[in-house]
Amino acid sequence: MPQKVLRVELLSVTPDALSVIYAAFRQCYYVGFAGDMWQKLLSGEIAKEKQAEFVQKTLESGHDSPVEHVSFTFAVEGISRACSHQVVRHRIASYSQQSQRYVTDTMDYVMPPAIARIPEAKARFEAFMDEVTSAYGDLKEILETHGRMSKANEDARFVLPQASETKLVMTMNVRSLLHFFNLRCCLRAQWEVRAMADQMLALCKQALPPLFMTAGAKCEALGYCPESPKFTCGKYLTREELLGERD
């Protein structure tokens, strides 16, 4: 089972994303029809800078539902099944994940950095991965000789660990992405899903800067930690600590 490295690729973004969001926002406050301004948006008659400024100011007011009209699609590899189980908890999204039932040629894995840094921990982890690979192959062969044939791998896979590498394609709208980054870019998020979120955010910032330049952990936008003092990472004061200082 070879060790895999995280890789995130941005496959697609809704065309004319900024203009779509601008039109959606404007329709909420505009007596006319957003469709009538569409060509002005595309032609540049309504400048991109003006569109970006309006969108940013409206978002700052707390009105964010129109950003749902734009979505991003990513391809991700080199994450563990443990990580993918965290990712799919974000329900306003679409996922297509590599099947352990049908993809049986390789069983790669992800090693936590904390284990990789300690020679004896790394050696034990790698030895166990070898044991799992051997057990998977043995079980698959035994099941095939007992008539399971092409179905053998769907039962043998039960021995595979959460470290098993997986690949997925995922689509999220901008509102869901902003929420995802609020939670998963936080220093208290688990290291692997945070690394994935950081790569996704970097791609989003390149593709649509007006929407994502200030995105990230919730504390970055708030200026304080929304966690309780018991759970804060310490980067920012908590709300309770700020109020205590004022008192």
Rounded alpha-carbon distances, angstroms, from residue 155 to 101, 145, 164:
8, 14, 16
Angle, alpha carbons 189-195-198 (nearest 5°)? 95
**Residue 52 in contact with residue 18, Cβ under 8 Å?**
yes
Cα gap 188→194, rounded to integer Å: 9
Cα gap 106→82, rounded to integer Å: 18
From the candidates 81, 184, 194, 239, give the one annotated as an active-site residue. 184
Cα gap 37→227, rounded to integer Å: 43
Q: Cα 97 to chain center, whole Å? A: 13
Cα gap 244→126, rounded to integer Å: 49
The bridge status of strand 94-97 relative to strand 7-13 is unpaired
Told to judge if 89 belongs to the known catalytic residues of this protein, a careful annotator would answer no
Q: What 3-state class would DSSP assign to 221?
A: helix
Q: What are phi and psi of 75, to 5 degrees?
A: -110, 135
Cα gap 53→25, rounded to integer Å: 12
The set of catalytic residues is: 184
